[in-house]
Structures are given as structure tokens and as C-alpha cells.
Amino acid sequence: FDFCQAEGKKRPSENLGQVLFGERIEPSPYRFTFNKKDTCKSVCTKTYDTTKPEDKQKLDFLKKSMLLNYQHHWIVDNMPVTWCYDVEDGQRFCNPGFPIGCYITEDGRPKDACVINSEFHEKDTFYIFNHVDIKIYYHVVENEALGARLVAAKLEPKSYKHTHPDNPDCSGVPMDISNKANGEVKIAYTYSVSFEEEKSIRWASRWDYILESMPHTHIQWFSIMNSLVIVLFLSGMVAMIMLRTLHKDIARYNQMDSTEDAQEEFGWKLVHGDIFRPPRKGMLLSVFLGSGTQILIMTFVTLFFACLGFLSPANRGALMTCAVVLWVLLGTPAGYVAARFYKSFGGEKWKTNVLLTSFLCPGIVFADFFIMNLILWGEGSSAAIPFGTLVAILALWFCISVPLTFIGAYFGFKKNAIEHPVRTNQIPRQIPEQSFYTKPLPGIIMGGILPFGCIFIQLFFILNSIW
């Protein structure tokens, strides 16, 4: 984007999580001094001559960004600068970003942020927010010699057409850009800043005002606890019934010497001698179990750290960095679980099992990730992952995760095979012709839709609040 650029300042370094999330922090040309009020200060002026192809391309790109409602995201003292505005029912909503501009359609209908100002009314016209009123809230510490701490930062985007950019006037008409503008277009960027002491907000709780201003981030604790209690109660009932039913049957099945006695049973008991028969795709099943264990442990540990506050929003990129590091270090449980199950299935190709555990699932994810990154590279997106970061990810994978997977598999194969509670029949039972709903794909959908529906809504609120 052709906005004002800071001169002589280097970009701050990003950690692995920030790079993977596409978070790129650029230095700002806006300068102000603590507790000093500035009004309508000029930052820079951009001039576009539509007769020149390069300038026309820049202006068209700016128009497209306003049409698609692209947002600025600013930070001050590592705090996101929020834009607060009134919504329906007298409520006030704060957004950690503000739009570049807005557009009035050809039929005079305002889009996006154009609804906030009645002066935005020209048809087929773009209005750019080239001025911001920044308000910094601070808290004075007990020892005044130590100064003050920033506890909140808010702004209000505005649009002004400055007739004299060297002497800006922040009280004029909005800065409009016709969709069919020809000739020269000048956009002067300005800002005002003020400071206000806020005694009610402490440094330790300065992020709370952002969360409280967003209604969708409130966790529905009662609904979550209600769902959790119901799930635990029903699971306990099913477990008790199954245990009481199976406890005596298992001992009796182990004493049967012929299949004739088993044929006298009915229903699901007919297949008790085939339940623990090694699957046809035992290699793939064991590999998926190992990779799933790795991801499951990584997810729970990451969420545990996030709930404890170690992955605070103030520590940018910490969530993704923690997840990646944990995944790399949890190669040992993946190899161990895959090896134990594969050995229990009677498999003998242990090298293939370990290699697939190390490379199959991570390889599929990395291939998708690499293809998406190539597309971002081709489009020139700032979210594209640099080549050096890709090399670092591959190094973590091959040099740490893969050896740890081999170590886990070594201990897994040294263990005895898992003993099954019932014996497996020598002759496999013939599987009757299956109806449509008992086939694998419909069964997966019907079996998974109920638990997915139970946890999806609750998980949305939990994860939205954590991040």
C-alpha cells in the first residue's frame, strides 16, 4: 500500500508464530510525545497523476482495498489501537482495527463504514480516512518518579480534504475520490493526539477493555457446564451398563473352545471373536493413531498454557510458536503409540511404520502449506512465509521431530504386544451384505455429527476468548 512510510527505522524482528500467522509489524511515521497534545499534524502527502500508468495502478489498488473493506491494524506500546463506535440499541462496539476508507455505490447506497457519516453521500465515490484522532489513556504509578504506563489506546478515523497540505485544516469537507477520477489526486495524511489519565485501569488488566467491548467473546459458562455435566452423566451411564453386561460375558467367551457355542448368541455378541482381529490396513491405522496422539497432546498442553496466561495476547505469536515447538518435541509419543499398535496388529515392517509416522501426516500438511505459500508468493502477499523460515521448519522437522519419533518407536517395539481381553477366532466370520447407512462413509458422518454438534458451539466461544 502506498501509505506514509517511516524513514530510518528498521522493522522489528518477528518470532516463528508471528511469521506463520502472517503478522508483519511495520514502523510508523506518526510521532508524538507523552502528555503533549497535538492537533492536525501533517504526516505526508501522496500525489497521484492518473495519466501515468504507475500512479493510476497505485490509486486503483487503493480503491480496491476500500471496496473490499481492508483494515488498518495499529499497535502502541504493544497494545492494539481500537476504534469504538455506536451500534444498535445504544451499545458501543470496539474493533481492533479501522478501515482504509469506504465506498458509496452508483445507486447512492453507503457500504461498510460510510454509514457512520451523513456527509458521505456522493454516488460512485470513495472516501478515504486520511486523518485519525488518537487518544492515549495512561495510569500514573505510585512512585511518580517512575512515570506513567499506557493502559489503553483508541482512535477515530476521519476524512478531510486538505486544500493546503502544508497547512492542513481538519474541519473541512471529506476527502472524496471519484471512481472515474482523472488528472491529479492529492491525499494529505494527518493526525491529532491527546492524553487522558485513567485511574480505574491497572497495568495488569489493561487488555480487559478490549475483551469487554466485544460481545461475541463472552464465554457462555453456564451452557458449557451444562453440556459438560450432561456428557459426563450419559457417558457414565453407558459405561456402567456396558461393564455390567460384558463383565460376565468376557470370562465365558474365553472358555469357549468351539465356534458352535458362539453361534448360539445373537446380536453384537456374535462378533466377539472377531473384534480384535488385526485390520487389513493396520499399518495406516497405527500411523494415524500415533500422529493423532501427537496432535492431541499438543492441543491440550497448548490450551492449558493459554488458560494459565502464559500465552498472553501481549506476547505476540506465542500461541503458534508454542504449538509448533510442542509438536516437534512430541515425536516420541507418536512413535511409541504407532509402534505399540502396529506390533499388536502383528506387523513386521517396523522401518516402514516409523518412516510413515514421521513423514505421512506432517508431509501432507507441509505440502498443502507449501502450495498455499507459493500462491501467496506469486500474489506478492505480505503473509507469504520467507524461504529462511521454511528451511527452519524443515530443520525442526527432520533434525528433532524425526529422531524423537524413532526413539519412541524403539521403546514401543521393545514392549510386549497389547493383550486382548478375548480370544480371536481362527476363522474370520463372514460379513453379510451391508445396507447404505452401515457403510463406512455414512457411518462416519452419522457417528460424528452428534458429538461435533455438541462441542462446536462451546469450542467456538472458548477458543475465541483464548485468542
57/59 Cα distance (integer angstroms): 5
170/163 Cα distance (integer angstroms): 10
What's the alpha-carbon Rg for the chain, to the nearest Å? 31
269 pLDDT exceeds 90?
no
Model-level pTM? 0.72
383/19 Cα distance (integer angstroms): 8
Q: What does the block give as the cell for 442?
A: 455414512
265/245 Cα distance (integer angstroms): 14
One-letter amino acid for residue 171 of the chain: S
Q: What does the block give as the cell for 350?
A: 517396523
| pLDDT band at residue 289 under the 50/70/90 scheme | very high
267 pLDDT exceeds 70?
no
| Mean pLDDT across 243-272 | 61
290/350 Cα distance (integer angstroms): 14
Q: Give the N- to C-terminal CA distance of the chain in Å, as an integer.
A: 28
| Mean pLDDT across 223-234 | 74
Q: Which of 232-246, 304-318, 405-419, 442-456 has the highest mean pLDDT?
A: 405-419
352/287 Cα distance (integer angstroms): 10
Enumerate the β-bridge partners of residue 84: 94
Q: Whole-number mean pLDDT of the chain?
A: 83
What is the separation of C-alpha 221 from the centre of its chain, rounded to a whole number of angstroms? 22
Residues with Cβ within 8 Å of 202's Cβ and at least 6 positions away in sequence, in order, are: 139, 151
Least confident of 135-144, 240-249, 456-465: 456-465
| Mean pLDDT across 126-149 | 84
Closest CA to 79 of 206, 204, 249: 206
Strands, E assignment, 75-114: 75-76, 79-80, 82-86, 92-95, 98-99, 101-104
| pLDDT confidence of residue 400 | 95
214 pLDDT exceeds 70?
no
Question: How does pLDDT run across 19-54, given as a tens digit for each residue?
Answer: 888 888 888 899 888 889 999 999 999 999 888 889
Strands, E assignment, 53-130: 71-72, 75-76, 79-80, 82-86, 92-95, 98-99, 101-104, 125-128
| H helix or E strand, kind and range, residue 408 | helix 402-414
| pLDDT band at residue 262 under the 50/70/90 scheme | very low
Residues with Cβ within 8 Å of 340's Cβ and at least 6 positions away in sequence, in order, are: 412, 415, 417, 418
DSSP strand pairing (184-197 vs 38-49): antiparallel
The conformation of residue 215, written as its DSSP 8-state character, comes to G
The conformation of residue 400, written as its DSSP 8-state character, comes to I
